[in-house]
Amino acid sequence: MSQDTKTPTDIDSRAEAELKSLFKSLDADHDQKLRYGNNSSYRGSPDEIRTYLKSLRLPYSDFHVKNVMDAVDLDHDGFITFEELKTFAAKNTKDLYVLFHEIDVNNDGKLSLQEVRSNNTFY
């Protein structure tokens, strides 16, 4: 990945770093894509977005997941890429910050598995 000075979105570099950290936390199988919904053509991958929504105690029914993710998944291929997340973030920076800092309890800018888990009422 190159260090581009100009991006199509207008989030600052700090926000982008946080977003990258968030993306990594969510990308459980490290394929650089976040899976959501019932994308059965892609076997073996966890439903990463639903896991995330659960951890935030947000609604995670098929209906909700699809609703939310359709807004982020610009090319509607069933996966969220970092670029898509970034584009979405540029439009919804405040909301994402709130989500992020809600999980990042020790405010180190990183989401540990422990933090995500301790935020999860379903365990």
One character per residue 6-35, x = contact with Ca ion (rule: CB under 5 A): ---------------------x-x-x-x--
Task: Identify the three-state secondary structure at position 3.
Answer: coil
DSSP element (H, E) containing 111: none
Chain-centroid distance of CA 35 in Å reads: 10
Q: How far apart are CA 28 and CA 34, in angstroms?
A: 8
Using rule CB under 5 A, residue 75 touches Ca ion: yes
Using rule CB under 5 A, residue 70 touches Ca ion: no
Which is closer to Ca ion, CB of 33 or CB of 86?
33
Q: How far apart are CA 20 and CA 22, in angstroms?
A: 5
Number of residues that bind Ca ion (CB under 5 A): 8
Which is closer to Ca ion, CB of 18 or CB of 73?
73
Which is closer to Ca ion, CB of 73 or CB of 104?
73
Q: How far apart are the first and last CA of the chain?
A: 36
- Residues in touch with Ca ion (CB under 5 A): 27, 29, 31, 33, 73, 75, 77, 79
